[in-house]
Amino acid sequence: MTRLAPMGTAAAILAAAGVVLFAGGGLRPRPDVDRLVSTANAADTGTPIYFRDPDGKPYYSLRPKKTADGRDYRAVQASEDISFDEPDQPAGTAPADTKGDRKIKYYRNPMGLPDTSPAPKKDSMGMDYIPVYEGDDSDDDSVRLSPGKIQRTGVKSEPAELRRIRTLVRAPGTIQLDERRISVVAMRAESFVQKVADVTTGSRVAKGQPLMEVYSSAVASAAAEYLATITSKTTAGIEPYGRGSRQRLVNLDVPEPVIAEMEKNHSVPITIVWSSPRDGIVLQRNAIEGMRAQPGDVLFRIADISLVWANVDVAERDLGGIKVGQSVSVRARSYPGREFNGHIGVIYPQVNKETRTARVRIELSNADLALLPDMYVDAEIDTGTPVPVLAVAESAVLDTGSRQAVLVDKGQGRFEPREVKLGRRGEGYVEIRDGLAVGEAIVTSANFLIDAESNLKAALKGFADGDKATGGKP
């Protein structure tokens, strides 16, 4: 059974505030604090026993007080107060030996100290020891509280229910280009750039849009050979000859529209118009009018950004709940309130040993080209349970680190500690994998006070068993 704190700690704190904690009856004023008015004297004199908020809010005061807007707190007489406790025994008399049909097993210290007695007794301050009846000290692990104590401590319970736990993994990252959507324009033979179109770095271009005009002796020779082949009476119409000459132009990366124009006009152009191979943005322009381009020189670099990547860094502890294909919501810091939806494409097989994070690639649609390379983004990955699971509020779990437990409300003031096994957490709830059933009422508020009471009960039970073994002798 989980323990939070011994009852002596709670009693010491309350004593410092001018009240003492009775293990069987809640809070009472310390005898040396004469500023508090007892309920009995208040009933005789008509003096209010306390003052409460005029609007019925849970605000109370021992002295007359005003609200923030200047209204007086309402005085509460002893006859108006509600109590769920058993009436106190008259001063100077010992408590009865029975309570209905139940018998008194022993008496415990009224200050909550682990001190018991087999017979009625008073402590050093003259207060009677509290009787413990057979039904109040059961042999099982349950804890029994009076209705008054339950009301004062604010104990609340709710049933364990099936619910889908939504767990969000948040990770920062940046927008990167899709490597599959980048093209370069380079010559495959020595060429000269005759003219460059009005295209600069950052310009948006469409597929087939002219970029430059070049002259290449190798291209001109291959074009002349191809035209001679398809126009000659000897080789015209013979498939192998024409196909071989045409393939040479294709190998020199001559654009298809240029080859089609040659076949139509039967003429070799002096310069060849080179066009964009795809829709996209010009990332790099190295072409300059009059320059000499060697084979392999990159003259233009063009990228299609209608689909981009978001590379985010996910903490190592969250990797177990992430898999390829999961939906992801991405928010760009440049567009507050707007979401971009995508899915996980790749989980890179390496963890950064310094940051303990792994790189995850998210593929995002970027139809309006709002997302730009190197833009900061924040990703939210839903790793929650796909189907409802048994869950309770996180506040219901008593966690010592090595063991986790909850308090099951058995009704009629009885509470049973129950060890459980936990699963995923999210949105204030935690999955219960073992130890509970659907519909069982679980304490979600003030459970640490009940746990302290169970701690006290175990100590008192040990003392009582020791007294029985020695016959009540020290």
- Residues 240-296 pLDDT 10s: 555 778 888 989 988 888 888 888 888 888 899 999 999 999 999 999 999 999 999
Are residues 280 and 199 both part of a single domain? yes
What pLDDT does residue 82 have? Answer: 55
* In-domain check, residue 183: no
Which amino acid belongs to residue 323? K
* In-domain check, residue 333: yes
At 392-442, the pLDDT tens digits run 988 888 887 778 888 888 877 778 888 899 888 877 888 898 888 888 888
Are residues 74 and 116 both part of a single domain? no
* In-domain check, residue 364: yes
Contact 457, 174 (CB under 8 A): no
- 55-66: string of b/e by CB count within 10 Å (b at 16+)? eeeeeeeeeeee
What pLDDT does residue 96 have? Answer: 47
Q: What is the CATH number of the domain that holds 370?
A: 2.40.30.170
Are residues 199 and 276 both part of a single domain? yes
Give CA angle at 468 (464, 471), nearest 5°. 130
Kindly tell me the sign of the dihedral angle through the C-alpha atoms of 92, 98, 102, 103. Answer: positive
357: Cβ–Cβ under 8 A, 6 or more apart, which residues? 171, 313, 314, 315, 316, 351
What pLDDT does residue 338 have? Answer: 92
Q: How many Cβ atoms are within 10 Å of 214's Cβ, its own excluded? A: 22
Are residues 109 and 68 both part of a single domain? no
Element (DSSP H or E) covering residue 424: strand 421-426
Are residues 451 and 356 both part of a single domain? no
User: How many domains is the chain built from?
Assistant: 5
Are residues 173 and 320 both part of a single domain? yes
What pLDDT does residue 20 have? Answer: 41
For the chain, which ranges sit under pLDDT 50?
A: 1-40, 42-43, 84-98, 459-460, 462-464, 468, 472-474
Residue 469 domain boundaries = 1-25+102-155+446-474
Are residues 289 and 333 both part of a single domain? no
Q: Distance (Å, rounded) from C-alpha 70 to C-alpha 84?
A: 33
Nearest to 396 by CA among 423, 417, 414: 417
* In-domain check, residue 182: no
What pLDDT does residue 409 have? Answer: 85
Are residues 344 and 277 both part of a single domain? no
Are residues 132 and 172 both part of a single domain? no
Are residues 420 and 452 both part of a single domain? no
Contact 211, 205 (CB under 8 A): yes
What pLDDT does residue 301 have? Answer: 96
